[in-house]
Amino acid sequence: MATAQEPTRSPAEGFTAQVADRTLRIGIVGLGYTGLPLALGFATAGFGVVGVDLDRAKVASVNRSESYLPDLTDIELQDVADKLTAVSDPAALHDADALVLCVPTPVTPEQTADLAFVDAAVESVLPHLRPGTLVVLQSTVPAGTTAGIARTIEERTGLVPGEDVYLAMAPERVDPANTNGWTLLNTPKLVGGVGPESTRRAQLLFEQICRTVVPVSDPAVAELSKVYENTFRLVNIALSLELSDLCRSLGLPVREVVDAAATKPFGFLAHYPGPGVGGECIPVDPLFLSERARREGVALNLVDTAHRRVSERPRQVVDRVAGLLAERGIPAAGAKVLLVGVSYKPGVADLRNAPALDVVRGLRGLGAEVSYYDPMVPELEVDGTAVPSAVWGGGTLAAADCTVLVTPHGRLASDPAWASAPLVLDTRNELAPAGNVEVL
Which residues bind to ligand NAD, rule: CB under 6 A? 29-35, 52-55, 58, 102-105, 117, 120-121, 124, 139-140, 172-174, 176, 280-281
Between residues 182 and 268, which has the closer beta carbon with respect to ligand NAD?
182
Between residues 101 and 338, which has the closer beta carbon with respect to ligand NAD?
101
Residue 102: active-site member:
no
Q: Active site residue: 102, 210, 247, 281, which one?
A: 281
Which residue number is nearest to ligand NAD in terms of Cβ? 32
Task: Decide if 170 contacts 189 (C-beta within 8 A).
Answer: yes
Residue 406 DSSP one-character state: -
Q: Which helix (H) or strand (E) holds 439?
A: strand 437-439
CA 182 from centroid of its chain's CA atoms: 14
Between residues 84 and 247, which has the closer beta carbon with respect to ligand NAD?
84
Between residues 104 and 275, which has the closer beta carbon with respect to ligand NAD?
104
Which of 232, 367, 252 shows the shortest CA–CA distance to 302? Answer: 232
State the nearest-atom distance from the C-beta of 393 to ligand NAD, in Å: 32
Q: Which residues pair with 215 in a beta bridge?
A: 191
Between residues 113 and 421, which has the closer beta carbon with respect to ligand NAD?
113
CA gap 380, 200 in Å, rounded: 46
Within 13 Å and on the Cβ side, how many CA atoms surround 134?
35
Q: What is the dihedral of CA 259, 260, 263, 267, to 10 degrees?
A: -90
Residue 384 DSSP one-character state: T
Task: Decide if 108 contacts 215 (C-beta within 8 A).
Answer: no
Between residues 174 and 303, which has the closer beta carbon with respect to ligand NAD?
174
State the nearest-atom distance from the C-beta of 167 to ligand NAD, in Å: 17
CA gap 420, 256 in Å, rounded: 25
State the nearest-atom distance from the C-beta of 285 to ligand NAD, in Å: 7
Between residues 286 and 362, which has the closer beta carbon with respect to ligand NAD?
286
Query: Residue 55 class from Cβ within 10 Å (0-12 exposed, 13-18 middle, 19+ buried)?
Result: middle
| Distance, first Cα to last Cα, the chain | 72
State the nearest-atom distance from the C-beta of 222 to ligand NAD, in Å: 12
3-state secondary structure of 110: coil
State the nearest-atom distance from the C-beta of 33 to ligand NAD, in Å: 3
DSSP for 134-146 reads EEEE-S---TTHH
State the nearest-atom distance from the C-beta of 173 to ligand NAD, in Å: 6
State the nearest-atom distance from the C-beta of 350 to ligand NAD, in Å: 8
Q: Which residues pair with 115 in a beta bridge?
A: none
Distance of CA 123 to CAs 105, 115, 157, 340, 427, Å?
Answer: 16, 12, 11, 43, 44
Active-site residues, by number, are 281
